[in-house]
Amino acid sequence: MESTEGGTILNAMLLEAANTSFSASNITILIIIILVLLLLTAITAGAETAYFSLTAKDINYLKTKEEAGARQVIRLLDQPKLLLATILVANNFINIAIVITTNLLVSSLMPQDISPIISFLVQVVIVTFLLVLFGEVLPKVYATQNNMRMALFSAPVLKLMSKAFMPVSKMLVSSTSYIEGKLGAKSINNLSNEDFEHAIELTVGHSATREEVNIFKGILKFSNITVRQIMRTRMDVSGIPYDMSFADMQQYCIEVGYSRLPVYKESLDKINGMIHTKDLLPYTEQNDLDWHVLVRPAYFVHEGKLIEDLLHEFQQKRIHFAIVVDEFGGTSGIVTLEDIMEEIIGDIRDEFDEDDLNYKKIDSGNFIFDGKTLINDVCRIIGEQPDIFDSVRGESDSLGGLILEISGKFPAINETISFENYDFTVLEIEKMRIKRIKLTINAVATEND
């Protein structure tokens, strides 16, 4: 009898110990799940702030990077509505999971005889505190101050979420588009540059000179122009070999007539620095000077950099000259402060510039250009929008490159290539390079004609 009672007591003790162990393991699992969910809601909340606070400069910078994270960010930003829908759907799912899991945890920890009202209030306070602190305040404050870093960090997580919630996100985007179409909602941000330029013509065109109107238009387009669009290409760069003698170097500086020249070893891809011709003035009477001590450090910029940012850097560093490099580190060309300012105020010519350096105007519809003339300069000279050739220019920046893109082959001398109402006639070719081109602007036919 006593042994039977002892066995019953022992079994009860073992059962109670098992239940206690099982409850403790459940609590541990719930805590881990809550921590993971809080991390995910922090990432989604921070990503929402980070992605939609990236400026055009930030996006342009990311496009120049080759890292996988940067490419993921750009792909996500290509569909902003789908990205926003994914973030909102994922954030709501995660928050609901946090509410349910936290309630389970709190219920298991609280005494059984506690009032239901007190239990409810405690659960509400805890859940609200967790969601507000970790799901709103901390991640969004951090993302506001480190939007680029947060965007790159959250890119892989958002990529997985976009795949997981793709059906729901697409349904929301489609519904939103349908409602916008029915309500006729229009965004005030849909104004194009042409609309703004037309507004400039209407508002200041009657009271300002043509030069002043062009300056207004130059300011409008200034923030979207990259260094590559205005730089002097590598083939037109005059550089000084590092092993050149001082006498030969002086003579070369006189011949080219530039105030600043890059110094290179072996090739222009290995720029050693730059020389200011004004630094040579105290030593003009010497022939055996070691001129390498006069070489100054060169300033390098990427060809995808916006000229608005470069102008700011020129002002801060008090420099006027930069070496432009491509994504592989090779020299693409050079850019100067004068090149940047010309995008706003037009061509700046001094007593050393030749009048027919880049083009010759025959009449209002015929021009002769050098093949190396930049497309932006051609558009400015003929009075057209800088994006008129964007659909056919490809990766080319010069007029010669534009002709190669349009024709799809290397043209012959006197061959004419046409695009819309423009005829390009190749006048001169030198060493497989289009040197001179005649541009003819044909009148646009109207319905009455």
Residue 307: per-residue pLDDT: 85
pLDDT at 275 over 70: yes
CA–CA dist 169, 292 (Å, integer): 63
pLDDT at 40 over 50: yes
Q: Which whole-number Å values give the CA distances from 291 to 71, 238, 279, 320, in the listed order?
A: 45, 18, 10, 21
CA atoms in the 13 A half-sphere facing the CB of 89: 20
CA–CA dist 402, 393 (Å, integer): 5
pLDDT at 426 over 50: yes
Residue 15: pLDDT band with limits 50, 70, 90:
very low
Residue 203: pLDDT band with limits 50, 70, 90:
low
Residue 124: per-residue pLDDT: 78
At 379-412, the pLDDT tens digits run 878 877 777 887 787 777 788 888 888 887 888 8
pLDDT at 413 over 70: yes
Q: How confident is the model over 156-164, as a mean pLDDT?
A: 87
Residue 201: pLDDT band with limits 50, 70, 90:
low
Residue 50: per-residue pLDDT: 86
Residue 22: per-residue pLDDT: 41
Residue 447: per-residue pLDDT: 43
Q: Which region among 13-17, 161-165, 319-323 has the lowest average model confidence (pLDDT)?
A: 13-17
CA-CA-CA-CA torsion for 311, 316, 322, 326, nearest 10 degrees?
A: -70
Residue 355: per-residue pLDDT: 46
CA–CA dist 164, 297 (Å, integer): 52
- Kindly state the percentage of the chain with pLDDT values over 70: 80
Q: How confident is the model over 316-329, as a mean pLDDT?
A: 86
Residue 13: per-residue pLDDT: 46
Residue 209: per-residue pLDDT: 65
Q: How confident is the model over 236-255, as a mean pLDDT?
A: 87
Residue 230: pLDDT band with limits 50, 70, 90:
confident
Q: Select the more confidently predicted residue: 202 or 371.
A: 371
Q: Which whole-number Å values give the CA distances from 166 to 46, 154, 173, 352, in the listed order?
A: 20, 17, 10, 62
Q: Which region among 19-33, 133-147, 226-240, 346-360 has the lowest average model confidence (pLDDT)?
A: 346-360
Residue 317: per-residue pLDDT: 87
Instruction: For the full predicted model, state whether its pTM sits above 0.85.
Output: no
Amino acid at 225: I
Q: Which two tokens stand for residue 343?
A: 């995008």
Q: What is the mean pLDDT of the chain?
A: 78
3-state class of 397 per DSSP?
coil
Residue 225: per-residue pLDDT: 82
Indicate the length of the chain as a whole number.
Answer: 449
Q: Which whole-number Å values give the CA distances from 145 to 59, 141, 149, 349, in the listed order?
A: 16, 7, 9, 44
Q: How confident is the model over 414-431, as a mean pLDDT?
A: 85
Residue 19: per-residue pLDDT: 45
Sign of CA dihedral 137, 141, 147, 149: negative
Residue 4: per-residue pLDDT: 45
Sign of CA dihedral 256, 239, 430, 361: negative
- Identify whether the C-beta of residue 271 lies closer than 8 Å to the C-beta of residue 262: yes
Residue 6: per-residue pLDDT: 46
At 63-93, the pLDDT tens digits run 777 778 888 888 888 888 888 888 888 888 8
Q: Which whole-number Å values give the CA distances from 340 to 19, 221, 336, 442, in the listed order?
A: 76, 12, 7, 31
At 137-159, the pLDDT tens digits run 888 888 888 888 888 888 888 88
Residue 3: per-residue pLDDT: 43
Residue 157: per-residue pLDDT: 87
Q: Which region among 230-239, 288-297, 369-378, 437-446 has the lowest average model confidence (pLDDT)?
A: 437-446
Q: Per DSSP, what are the bridge partners of residue 274?
A: 262, 296
